[in-house]
Each structure stands twice: as C-alpha cells, then as structure tokens.
C-alpha cells in the first residue's frame, strides 16, 4: 500500500461491511461513484439486489459521517 493514495502502509484502513436498504441499480452505481470520489475511500463493492455493502477507507482522510452522507443523499438506509 502507498502513502500517495492514503491507504496506509501500517494497516490503518477500516473496513465496513453491512446491509443497506433502498438500493436500485441506478442509485447503487451513483453511491459507488460518489464514495470512490471521497479522498480516503479505497474500495467499494455493492450488491444492489440484497444490499450487501463493503467499503474500505482511511479514517484519517475520510470521516464516517461523510460516507453516511453519501447514502443519505441517495435515499439509501444503512444502519451502522
């Protein structure tokens, strides 16, 4: 891992795995695109059909509230 992308050489990343409600194929793509646009988000994988979501991010670059705001803005409910 590298310092340039913010992924943290010492394993400083956080992985979120949860189920979200309210995905459509369109808003799932939009959520993924918006999350990957955040400075510290390194990986996003969404299963729109069942809501399974995985996000790897660096909390030093992106706050959890910023991630949750993306879901809120697209009408997707995630309870962490």
pLDDT tens for each residue of 1-31 = 455 555 555 567 999 999 999 999 999 999 9
Looking at the domain assignment, is residue 28 inside a domain?
yes
At 25, list the tokens. 């194929």
- Residue 9 domain-assigned? no
Q: Are 60 and 40 in contact (CB under 8 A)?
A: yes
Q: What string of H, E and C letters represents the secondary structure of 10-77?
A: CCCCEEEEEEEECCCHHHHHHHHHHHHCCCCEEEEEECCCCCEEEEEECCCCCCHHHHHHHHHHCCCE
Residue 7 included in any domain: no
Q: Residue 74 falls within a domain, yes or no?
A: yes
Residue 70: domain span: 14-78
**Domain assignment present for 18:** yes
| 5 within a domain of the structure (yes/no) | no
Q: Give residue 1's pLDDT.
A: 46
Domain membership flag for residue 22? yes
**pLDDT one-digit tens code per residue, 36-64:** 999 999 999 999 999 999 999 999 999 99
The token pair that represents 40 in the structure block: 């510290």
Specify the CATH number for the domain of residue 58.
Answer: 3.30.70.100
Look at residues 36, 73, 29, 27 and name the one whose alpha carbon lies nearest to residue 55.
36
pTM of the model: 0.85
């Amino acid at each position: 891992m590298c310092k340039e992308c913010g992924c943290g050489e010492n394993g400083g990343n956080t992985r979120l795995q949860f189920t979200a409600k309210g995905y459509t194929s369109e808003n799932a793509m939009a959520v993924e695109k918006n999350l990957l646009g955040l400075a510290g988000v390194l990986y996003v994988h969404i299963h729109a059909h069942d809501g399974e979501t995985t996000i790897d991010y660096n909390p030093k670059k992106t706050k959890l509230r910023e991630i949750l705001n993306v879901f809120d803005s697209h009408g997707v409910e995630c309870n962490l």
